[in-house]
Structure 1
Amino acid sequence: MFDRRISLITLGVADVARATAFYESLGWTRSSASNPSITFIALKGIVLGLFSRDKLAADARLAGGGAGEGFSGVTLAHNLHSEAEVDEAYAFALARGARPVKPPEKVFWGGYSGYFADPDGHLWELAFNPMAPLDAEGHMQLGS
């Protein structure tokens, strides 16, 4: 049930505008799906997200969003086609030893997501994002 892909890597950053300017200076292009709170950059088959480190920690319901406070500032996301698929993948991961962090639920940005940690504590978000549909291969589709 758990497809072998990563849809999105989100970096928790201190300043979204500064981080965006840095990545744009590398020649990477911000997607039109971005807004002042989050930047999306479409890469080859994967999306890079830049989001406030504190807000990213809060989204996963983790205390200590600051550097050195227990949260790595990085999440891996596996996007799915529906809320039901998120629930199914979450149950699948937990049945195989993942630690529950935040059960799937409707979220402030209009989608549906939950978090689990792998055995080493790396955070995975399982998400359904109606604003970034998946193509036939499961890749996120962002505006240019």
Structure 2
Amino acid sequence: MDAIPARLTVVTLGARDMATLRAFYRALGWRELPGADDGWSAFQLGGVLLALYPLPALAAEAAPASAPPAGGWAGFTLACNVDARDDVDAAFAAAVAAGATPIGQPADREWGGRSAYVADPEGNRWELAWARTAVFDERGSLVSFG
């Protein structure tokens, strides 16, 4: 076994307003794990856990010598790949209806897929994408990307 397995298991977002962020992800129809509260929350997304943790507490653990970021885009995106090209438009509409801010309308991309961008209530960017090479298992976990 390698010292660090080649896998991603948890993405943690530092939340400025836990109640609002939790409500947004629940409004997408995602099931919050039992035991969640405004001190920690998580959503099982295929083979990855999306965790929410209060930003000051996360900063104390992950960046103790730094001040928590003030807001805005942090320079990364999260992605949710859908099963079909036309599903991008439906996912975009559902995210906006749940309270996401539209960032980039659904568009065909030069790489052969289709995607759109939204921001959650704290500015975290999500790409809603379709790629013909993406293969998922029965749980929705990505098993191959080309």
Query: Normalised by the size of structure 1, how large is the TM-score?
Result: 0.51
Question: Aligned-pair distance for 1:89?
Answer: 1.1
- Give the structure with higher Rg (CA): 2
For structure 1, list consecutive stretches of 5 or more residues without a partner in the other structure: 1-24, 30-40, 47-67
Match of 1:89, SS state, is helix
Q: Give the ranges of 4+ consecutive aligned residues of structure 1 lying more than 3 Å apart after TM superposition.
A: 25-29, 41-44
Distance 2:140 2:93 in 1: 20
Instruction: Kindly indicate which of the two structures has a greater share of residues assigned to strand.
Output: 2
Q: What corresponds to 1:74 in structure 2?
A: 76
Q: What corresponds to 1:83 in structure 2?
A: 85
CA deviation string 1:50-102 (max 9, x = no partner): xxxxxxxxxxxxxxxxxx9x531221111110122111111011112211000
Question: Aligned-pair distance for 1:42?
Answer: 6.4
The root-mean-square deviation of aligned C-alpha atoms, in Å, is: 3.0
Q: What corresponds to 2:30 in structure 1?
A: none
Equivalent residues in 2 for 1:1-144 (5 A)?
Answer: 27-29=4-6, 45-46=47-48, 71-142=73-144
For structure 2, list consecutive stretches of 5 or more residues without a partner in the other structure: 10-45, 49-69
Distance 1:85 1:143 in 2: 18
Q: Percent identity?
A: 38
Q: Across the two proteins, how many residue pairs are aligned to each other? A: 89
Match of 2:92, SS state, is helix
Query: Normalised by the size of structure 2, how large is the TM-score?
Result: 0.50
